[in-house]
Amino acid sequence: MILVDANVLMYAAGAEHEFKAPSIALLEHVAMGEVEAAIDAEVLQEILHRYRAINRWAEGRHVFDSARRIFTVILPITVEVVDYARFLLDDVSKISARDALHAAVVATEGFEALCSYDRGFDQIESIRRIEPGWDHR
């Protein structure tokens, strides 16, 4: 199982970009059940926050609703996850609290990897970061 970061969903929904096609392809594979993937509740919150902040709520609503349809597993941010995120923030000086939460979900759930374009996750030795387009079959 992999955890998919919000940036994959946003690139898939966004303007033409080198990351758009691989992001769409990954989401299609997830939707067809060919890739075991999940998101966490923080991904949904990021979508809400970002699209509201940039005054593109209609698009944000679509991205949010698509994420809810595509992913059958949406993990909560539990106290265990927050405690682990706190540990990561002590251990890795240059990651954000939001990224620490995602990494903590991957670690506490024992996931194979975190799928994200954010190279900041590479600083966290306890998790593996992959990007859409890696060989998942």
Mean pLDDT of the chain: 95
The token pair at 14 is 């966004």
Q: Which of 63, 93, 66, 99 is nearest to 81 (CA)?
A: 99
Task: Assign domain 2-130 to its CATH superfamily.
Answer: 5'-nuclease (3.40.50.1010)
Q: Residue 137 pLDDT > 60, yes or no?
A: no
Domain ranges, ordered by start, for the chain: 2-130
Q: What percent of the chain has pLDDT over 70?
A: 97
Q: Say how far apart CA 79 and CA 97 lie, in whole Å.
A: 14
Q: What percent of the chain stands above pLDDT 90?
A: 94
Contact predicate 19/55, CB 8 Å: no
pLDDT confidence tier of residue 100, bands split at 50, 70 and 90: very high
Residue linked to tokens 């690139």: 11
Give the model confidence (pLDDT) of 28-84 as tens digits.
999 999 999 999 999 999 999 999 999 999 999 999 999 999 999 999 999 999 999
DSSP letter string over 51-105? HHHTT-HHHHHHHHHHHHHH-S-EE---HHHHHHHHHHHHH-TT--HHHHHHHHH
Query: What pLDDT is stored for residue 133 in this prediction?
Result: 86
